[in-house]
Amino acid sequence: MLVIVCYDVSTETREGRRRLRRVARVCESTGQRVQKSVFECKVDRMQLEDLERRLLAEIQLDQDCLRLYRLAETRGCEVREFGRFRALDYAAPLVV
């Protein structure tokens, strides 16, 4: 399934800026950045639960916002892209 992870971490304090970097690292380890605080992650159910657990361990619920949108492929998930960025096609062959 495709999961869109969006977050808004309060960066008014030094700890908030550290938290922002840690949240980004967790997301980068699972998916690809499509905007500054938005990631696309192709995961299965177990990976989604692990990602959610790791993100919740980093954020402060009283200061930050975290949203995960699950787009099931069985429903014909469609992503329209405009502009310069082009996402990686994980199903395509990898040429090294």
Read off the pLDDT of residues 38-72 as tens digits, 9 standing for 90 and up.
Answer: 999 999 999 999 999 999 999 999 999 999 998 87
90 or 39: which carries more pLDDT confidence? Answer: 39
Q: Which two tokens stand for residue 41?
A: 């992650």
Lowest mean pLDDT among 18-32, 42-56, 78-92: 78-92
Mean pLDDT of 9-31: 95
Q: How far apart are CA 58 and CA 26, in angstroms?
A: 9
Sheet containing strand 38-42, edge to edge, reads 32-35, 38-42, 2-8, 65-71
What's the mean per-residue pLDDT of the chain? Answer: 85
Residue 94 has pLDDT above 60, yes or no: no
pTM of the full structure: 0.77
